[in-house]
Amino acid sequence: MSPPVNETAAAIARLFAEPVRGRAYTAWARWSTASTVLGLFVWGALLIAQQPQHQLQVLALLLAGGGLLVVSAWFILTGHTTIDAQGIRQDWVFRKQFDWHQIAAARLVRLPLQPRLLLSTGRGPIRAIHGGDPAVIEAFRRIDAYYRQIRAPLP
């Protein structure tokens, strides 16, 4: 049987009394994001230069889609993940903060380009926290091991 939530939260908080903070995305993810954004803007500029009669429509499309793209890219390029005694936080457009008492289960998923810690709060969708720094990925491994250890065996 799993320990009560408050005991679990206290135990995992002790594991991270010393905070771990690092990049949320790997160098590969940051490089591919930056090059994609740059490439799309160069392509848009060339398109505007080659077809001046469609300049307004292309510019409107670039501004609408490009604005969303730039905001997302900004957080991929500059975002950090923090793990401490309170919980896990990741810089992102929307709030990505989970206190230990909210987390019911956690699983490290090592994808080829971007490791993630999948979190379940017991309600709502599963959330992904990204790790691009070796110290953050090691912390993810420790969290995964802890939650695997306390999980009740299946009948």
155 located within any domain: no
Q: Are residues 62 and 134 located together in one domain of the fold? A: no
Q: How would residue 155 be classed by pLDDT, with cut points 50, 70 and 90?
A: very low
Q: Are residues 87 and 69 located together in one domain of the fold? A: no
**Alpha-carbon span 19 to 31, nearest angstrom:** 27
**Alpha-carbon span 139 to 22, nearest angstrom:** 10
Q: What value does the mean pLDDT take over residues 30-55?
A: 84
Q: Are residues 86 and 67 located together in one domain of the fold? A: no
Main-chain dihedrals φ then ψ at residue 83, nearest 5 degrees: -125, 120
Instruction: Give per-residue pLDDT as tens, 13-30.
Output: 888 989 999 999 999 999
Q: Are residues 114 and 42 located together in one domain of the fold? A: no
Instruction: Give per-residue pLDDT as tens, 56-103.
Output: 777 787 778 888 888 999 999 999 999 999 999 999 988 799 999 999
End position of a domain, from candidates 60, 75, 90: 75
18 located within any domain: yes
**Domain count of the fold of the chain:** 2
Q: What residues make up the domain containing 140?
A: 5-23+81-150
DSSP character string of 33-65:
HHHHHHHHHHHHHHHHHH-GGGHHHHHHHHHHH
Task: Give 91-95 contacts, CB < 8 A, sequence gap 24+.
Answer: 91/24, 92/24
Using alpha carbons, select from 1, 12, 7 the residue that is nearest to residue 140. Answer: 12
Q: Are residues 85 and 145 located together in one domain of the fold? A: yes
Residue 122, exposed/middle/buried by CB under 10 A (0-12, 13-18, 19+)? exposed
Q: Are residues 110 and 142 located together in one domain of the fold? A: yes
Please give the C-alpha separations between residue 151 and each of 4, 104, 141, 144, in angstroms, as whole numbers: 11, 9, 15, 11
Q: Are residues 14 and 89 located together in one domain of the fold? A: yes
103 located within any domain: yes
Question: The whole model's pTM is what?
Answer: 0.82
End position of a domain, from candidates 15, 48, 75: 75
**Alpha-carbon span 82 to 29, nearest angstrom:** 18
What CATH number does residue 94 fall under? Answer: 2.30.29
101 located within any domain: yes
Q: Are residues 66 and 98 located together in one domain of the fold? A: no
> In this structure, what DSSP letter does residue 32 have?
H
